[in-house]
Structure 1
Amino acid sequence: MDKRIEAICGDAIAELQKMENESVNLIVTDPPYNLNKDYGTSQDKLKFEDYLEFSRLWLKEAKRVLKPDGTIYIFMGMKYISYIYIILEQELGMTFNSWITWYYTQGIGKTKGFSPRHDDILMFTKNAKKFVFDLDAIRVPQKYYRSVNNMRGANPGNVWEFSHMHYCNKNRKKHPTQKPEGLYERMILASSKENDVVVDPFVGSGTCLRVCQQTNRRGVGIDINPEYIEMTEERLLEEFKGFDSIDEKMKRCPNDLNDANVRIEYIENHIQLFLKNHPDAITEFLEEVKQKYLTKMIETGQIWIFDQYGVAI
């Protein structure tokens, strides 16, 4: 296994306590929501105050190990998210940055009340002003091309649309709360640099470490369940063919690419910038290019780009 990636079987709090002060650049994690999920070696069902104390203890250690310019992203269910917010801000003195909503089109069905279609992610930084945030690494294509906007696209905002990890997904593991790699890709690219240390204290199916592996980060994942550590290690040995999820906006081709030189430059840049970790999405992107610009591209001799990626004319 990649020596930059470490999967540790152990208790999250105890393993965090072993880490040096200010040694971690980024923490991205999906802790138990205390909703009675079956995690094999543990049942996610603590008393209310016990769950808050458990959260308080691991978050205290998380803050301690973060570097001064470090960031933490935490997935959390609606029942406890406000309490986690208070612990981070009021008790630990961290700075709130963003409340991210992950929107997905399918989820739990309810017959009385509205079916949930989103999860939430809290983003807090250790310092109010000095923290890593690489916007260029996570921009999304715009609907209309304008030269003043440059080819890097726009800020993705705080509502993210990624497909849920359906059981039919080829990358689905035997874990009850597996998250899409595209979500972790965005957070890790935004809030860390290559060779930075990224920690997931509740690594589960190994999504965080898989993304660290493919984005040249040093990843440390912790889980109390040895089966999940074994699952993670096996996942890290799999051939990489692209991340298992993508923001649908990454595949869209902007309107108004009327200048021939700008158009071909944009198409090539789009593939390199937006689809670098998503080779399976290139065909879909080029199909949209073809629908919008095929006639013009025939006239300007630019259809070679379709042949290059095996897209039929």
Structure 2
Amino acid sequence: MNLIHGDCLKILRTLEEKSFDLVVTSPPYNLGINYSQFEDTAPRTKFLSWCKSWARQLKRVLADDGSFFLNIGATPSNPLLPHQLILALTDGKKPLFTLQNTFHWVKSISVKTTDDELLSVGHFKPINSDRYVNDCHEYVFHLTKTGSIPLDRRAAGVPYQHKSNISRWQHTGGQDLRCRGNTWFIPYQTIRYRMKDRPHPASFPPALVEQCIKLHGKGCETRLLDPFLGIGSSALAAKFQKIAHFTGIEIDQEYLASARLRLEKEAISKTSL
């Protein structure tokens, strides 16, 4: 694994053209999040221009059949950011990317079962407001160069609840596994101490990245890049999926140190089994 300290704009320019199959990342949201060393309050036009700059470099280093999964969230009082960003990357006479799929990362949900039992699962940050409801989801935009990149839809699939559908839908090939769809319920793991266990204000779970790896369909041969590594969730996902070729870039030395520590702890836990 190659974990690099530095500004992703500078580092990306040094990487070889078309040297990655898959990019999964979550940039700063420009919503005033309290990062350790990044000022997350730029004017919106300046922020979008900055995003287009690193996105150009991602397009350059991404293989022609590659996928770029972009995780971005919003706040109830500032709901347009994800849409403004995706338009900046896909709109105009010479768009950088084509939006091929839009996924909804659901962090918490309440559902009523067929037995009329109400289940509430997952984690969310409560909003103290009489205007807005709790925000329990974020977007994951799947971007490609052409909009026609094949995916392994069932690699990240789920079994049928009603088994009669196995034979009814021929695209499953008789297997009890269907496409999961574009709504992903992926909760955070429960932690005891925020600053110790998750010292980053906007990280995603490794399982989110694993879902993207499976869907892209190249398995352990995947060449994976995360230009905003944070505390290393994508590096852990690469390790869980046995990916040897992983590169992560992080500007904050403290976050990078946390990423290395998480990988070391994972390695120790595996060797102690």
Contiguous gaps of at least 5 residues in structure 1? 243-313
1:212 aligns with 2:238: yes
1:154 maps to amino acid: R
The within-5 A match list for 1:206-285 is 206-217=232-243, 218-239=245-266
Structure-2-length-normalised TM-score: 0.80
Could you tell me which residue of structure 1 aligns to residue 37 of structure 2?
41
- In 1: Cα distance, 2:186 partner to 2:42 partner: 30
Shift of 1:109: 2.0
Return the match for 1:175 from 197, 200, 208: 200
1:202-249 per-residue CA deviation (whole Å, 9 max, x = no partner) reads 01010111111221221111110011111111111223699xxxxxxx
The answer to whether the 8 Å contact 1:204/1:223 transfers is: yes
Cα distance between partner residues in 1 of 2:68 and 2:176: 25
Alignment partner for residue 133 of structure 1, among 141, 145, 151? 151
Aligned mates of 2:150, 2:25 — CA distance in 1: 18
Aligned length in residues:
237
The alpha-carbon deviation at position 43 of structure 1 amounts to: 2.2
User: Identical aligned pairs, as a percentage?
Assistant: 24
Q: Which residue of 1 aligns with 2:84?
A: 83
Deviations 1:254-299 (A, max 9, x none): xxxxxxxxxxxxxxxxxxxxxxxxxxxxxxxxxxxxxxxxxxxxxx
**2:106 matched to 1:96?**
no
Q: Which is higher, the Rg of structure 1 or of structure 2? A: 1
In the alignment, the residues of structure 1 paired with residue 125 and residue 56 of structure 2 have an alpha-carbon distance, to the nearest angstrom, of 33
1:169 to 1:103, Cα distance in 2 relative to 1, 3 A: farther
What SS class does the counterpart of residue 175 from structure 1 fall into?
Answer: coil
Structure number with higher helix proportion: 1
Q: Which has the higher contact order (CA 8 A, sep 6+)?
A: 2
Q: Give the unaligned 5+ runs of structure 2.
A: 75-79, 109-122
Q: Give TM-score, length-normalised by structure 1.
A: 0.70
Query: Cα distance 1:45–1:93, how it changes in 2: closer, same or farther (>3 A)?
Result: closer
Task: State the Cα RMSD in Å.
Answer: 2.2
Aligned mates of 2:159, 2:197 — CA distance in 1: 28
